Amino acid sequence: MSFPNVRLRRLRKSEKIRELLEEVRLSPKDLICPVFVQEDLKSRIQVDSMPDIEILPLKDVVSEVNSIADLKIPAIMVFGIPAKKDDKGTSAFDQNGIVQRAISEIRKNLGNKIAIMADVCLCQYTDSGHCGLVKGNTIDNDSSLEVLKKIAISQAQVGVEVVSPSAMMDGQVKAIREGLDDSGFTDVAIMSHSAKHRSNLYSPFRDMAHCAPQFGDRRSYQLPYTNPTEAMREVETDIAEGVDIVMIKPALAYLDLIAKVRSSFNIPISAYSVSGEYSLVKAAAKQGWINETEVTLEILTAIKRAGADMIVTYLSKIAAKTLNG
């Protein structure tokens, strides 16, 4: 009886054959680079927990985004840090708000050189630091939807292409879709933070964006990481509400969900590799314990392998520089 002499090493023996056999190829085109812009800031600042990530003053936004585009990264995600917070999150939908000004400057100066996506949430803008409006000691869902809708419309008016609600309010996709459509922005897409977990990996972001909750926590709206079925239900609901791209967040510890969403639905998937995922890599690399660029490529490739079509990551520039050679 003959048997096939299977030797998998045959296809691993030379570099060119290995290249030919690559199944998952990470490209700068898979990446979305977050951009932080702070109102009334004079010059760029850094935050200890996010090494090499800079918070920009408005005057530096265009040149920074231009250099991101030059790295062949197709999209940015704009986050704003306003000068003033209040109980209604007013500065989030101000036509002269920091995000609105940043978007309009980028559009004016760079045209369609890069796709502009923007975060839609209240937590940087509310004095409570919560992602919705506070009523008594709860986060009120339906009044928050009205504000999220206004934020999305205000961003659409200055040329955003994709709005990305991250508040985890029920019905946020439906409310924003209706708001955009009623205002004539039927072509602005929604990439919802569909399965956004209550993660401990967000703390460096909160240092940067000054959006830590001032009382309680986000457990009444963000998903528990113990509940994968509930996560699927969030995704399902967003799809029913007309979302264009679903997001799983964080990424690396949630690859099971990315794979499951990939096999369950026909919809583009983005994964958000969050601030804590970045700072883990940077901290270990700084010690010389891991190779920063190699680990970056490995992690991002794994996220893509799980089924993500795109990755929002603070590692975007490091990855793109390496991939561009």
Nearest to 246 by CA among 174, 173, 180: 173
* Cis-peptide into 34, omega within 30 deg: no
Establish if 118 lies at the interface with Zn ion (CB under 5 A).
Answer: no
The 8-class DSSP code of residue 82 comes to: -
Are 119 and 77 in contact by the 8 Å Cβ rule? The answer is yes
Rule CB under 6 A: is residue 319 a binding residue for ligand PBG? Answer: no
Footprint (CB under 6 A) of ligand PBG, residues 257-276 = 274-275
- CB contact at 8 A, 52 and 282: yes
Residue 139 sits in the site that holds Zn ion (CB under 5 A): no
**Whole-angstrom distance, CA of residue 73 vs CA of residue 75:** 6
Residue 113's φ and ψ, nearest 5 degrees, are -65, -25
Task: Tell me which residue has tokens 């897409």.
Answer: 189
**What does R_g of the chain's alpha carbons equal in angstroms?**
20
Give least dist CB 280 to ligand PBG, A.
12
Nearer to ligand PBG, 207 or 244 (CB): 207
Residue 206 touches ligand PBG, criterion: CB under 6 A: yes
Identify residues 76-95 at the interface with Zn ion (CB under 5 A): none
Active site residues: 196, 249
**Contact with ligand PBG (CB under 6 A) among 131, 148, 271, 281:** 131
Applying the rule CB under 6 A, the residues between 176 and 205 that interact with ligand PBG are 202, 205
Helices (H), ranges, 3-140: 15-21, 58-70, 98-110
Per the CB < 8 A criterion, the answer to whether 110 and 66 are in contact is yes
Residue 123 within binding range of Zn ion, rule CB under 5 A: yes
Residue 166 contacts ligand PBG per CB under 6 A:
yes
Choose which of 55, 61, 65, 123 interacts with ligand PBG (CB under 6 A): 123
Q: Does 131 bind Zn ion (CB under 5 A)?
A: yes
Q: Which residues, in sequence order, are CB contacts of 88 under 8 Å at separation 6+?
A: 126, 133, 147
Q: If binding is defined by CB under 6 A, does position 211 make contact with ligand PBG?
A: yes
> Should residue 121 be labelled a site residue for ligand PBG when binding is judged by CB under 6 A?
yes
Which span (119-127, 238-246, 261-269, 284-292) binds ligand PBG, by CB under 6 A?
119-127
Q: In the complex with ligand PBG, which residue's Cβ is closer, 88 or 113?
A: 88
Tokens of 267: 């919809």
- The residues binding Zn ion (CB under 5 A) are 121, 123, 131
- The residues binding ligand PBG (CB under 6 A) are 119, 121, 123, 131, 166, 202, 205-206, 211, 218, 274-275
